[in-house]
Structure 1
Amino acid sequence: MHALLHKRQVLNTAISTGTPADFVDAILQLGAARSSAYVCCANAHMLVEAHRRPAFRQILVEANVVTPDGSPVAAAVGWFHGTPQARVAGMDLLPALLAAAAERGQSVYFYGTTAAVLAAMVARARRELPALRIAGVHAPPFRPLSPAEEEADVAAINAADPDLLFVALGCPRQEQWMAAHRGQIRACMLGVGQAFRVYAGLEPRLPVWARRLWLEWTYRLWQEPRRLAGRYFVTNTWFVYLLARAALARLVSGHTSGSPPHPTNQL
């Protein structure tokens, strides 16, 4: 198995780096090895939460792969470490991994959202990727599960024996769920949240040109203003502030030492 993706620090969170193809290959290798591993897709909101909550930051620290899901996160990797980094969003990673899994004969399992979303996902996958092995699907109830229900879900997933387990429970619940089940589930788990609804065709994405202008958050805000207004206005402001503070500290450090900071310094 090849070495995992190199990580770079952004706001004290280690972000995995590489091309989108590198991410797909590394994740499929984790799945093929039946590693009890997990992958987090980090946007600005997640990095701010990691900065504010040490317990959540530890979940990201222990993740096997942390993708630069948001354009600002990918850009920050490039700004602070001098190497351009492409965005690797969960919404793009999901279909790419399904296509690659179909080619390699690896199996997948979908866990989360609703039965209707899962049915639409399976229908699309069977239509576009007839060779894809779908080991199973399950939509748990929208409430805390009892220990017996948790054990039953884990047993069902392990019995299905997927290479990849896609998890859509919303942030931070899906990240907490994956971290809690490392060592119990014999698969590579991926927290992809909203990607389920997009793949199912129940929620459109903005055109590529709009995504390149970092407008995707405004579109989601328009869709769910009550739920997302506070998150975006507060966390986006915090993210910009924390980046500016890190950049200033880096600049002062460089002037003080007479040389630029080492590229692996934490931000």
Structure 2
Amino acid sequence: MGVNIAAINMEWLMNYLDKHIKPEQCHDLSGDYICISNVHTTVTSFEDEEYCAVQNGGLMAIPDGGPLSTVGHMRGYKNMSRTTGPDLMGQIFKISAQKGYRHFFYGSTANTLKKLADKLLESYPGITIAGMYSPPFRPLTNEEDRFIINKINSLEVDFIWIGLGAPKQEVFMAEHQGKITGLMIGVGAGFDYYAGNIMRAPQWMQKMNLEWLYRLIQDPFRLFYRYFHSNKKFIWEAIVKGK
């Protein structure tokens, strides 16, 4: 469907990041971004050439959605597995104190960011939260944009977690590619998960690629049309037609 989904698994990705992110010096991935891709973002990319270019313009687009890795298996990538944004966050948070990683969180509300900081400091002793920023619910002015770029760059962070939701977070990362030092990763609802605002699906639902159903039950009015349209189109285009 036009999106270059990385045929990877979590073990490969963690080894890759460990090799290329070096806190003691300017790391290889600074200024780039990772898209956390699922059925919704893939269908949106299929329907919007500009957004597809954003998905393909970063370091990689990883398979957050279970159907993406399922299609990967069907196409011969047997080691490919679902690599979710929240799982990636947790894996990196666990080793952050040991590795000396520095984090910046961009997105959500001030209240959620406060809860997120408290939860992370409690759950991951020694983690370094270098900064947080809750942007206004409107486009940034040029002055505001320069301010946040300078602020992040002055803090010399390794990971900039972007929690704006798709497609807004991916567009933000593409627009700031090469301007912000550190690796940007768009994690959607990841902030809310780690702040305790919403719960993730039980492990058995995650393993059966049913986390989307759990989220739909939690927020049916917002997600019903998205899932109905995206899932139907993905099945037809990627599985039936093999795009």
- Tell whether the structures are fold-level matches, with TM greater than 0.5: yes
The CA deviation string for residues 97-139 of structure 1, in whole angstroms up to 9 with x for no partner, is 1112222111111110011111111112211222211111111
Asked if 2 retains the 8 angstrom alpha-carbon contact of 1:44 and 1:70, the reply is: yes
TM-score by length of 1: 0.85
Alpha-carbon distance in 1 for matches of 2:18, 2:199 = 27
TM-score by length of 2: 0.93
Aligned residues: 238
Opposite residue 224 of structure 1, the aligned amino acid is D
The reply on whether 1:213 has 2:208 as its aligned counterpart is yes
Please identify the structure whose Cα radius of gyration is greater: 1
Which residue number corresponds to residue 99 of structure 2? 104
Which residue number corresponds to residue 190 of structure 1? 185
Opposite residue 27 of structure 1, the aligned amino acid is L
Which residue number corresponds to residue 121 of structure 1? 116
After TM superposition, the structure 1 = structure 2 runs for residues 1-267 of structure 1, keeping only pairs within 5 Å, are 11-32=1-22, 33=27, 35-247=30-242, 267=243
Q: Identify the range of structure 1 (72-81 vs 189-198) with the bigger mean alpha-carbon deviation.
A: 72-81
Is there any run of 5+ residues in structure 1 with no aligned partner, and where?
1-10, 248-266
Is there any run of 5+ residues in structure 2 with no aligned partner, and where?
none
Deviation for aligned residue 1:146: 1.0
The CA deviation string for residues 53-79 of structure 1, in whole angstroms up to 9 with x for no partner, is 110111111110211001101111111
Alpha-carbon distance in 1 for matches of 2:30, 2:79 = 30
Alpha-carbon distance in 2 for matches of 1:131, 1:170 = 28
The alignment yields a C-alpha RMSD, in angstroms, of 1.5
Aligned sequence identity (%): 31
C-alpha change, 1:149 and 1:82, in structure 2 (3 Å) is closer
Report SS of the residue matched to 1:143: coil
Q: Identify the range of structure 1 (203-212 vs 31-40) with the bigger mean alpha-carbon deviation.
A: 31-40
Deviation for aligned residue 1:142: 1.4
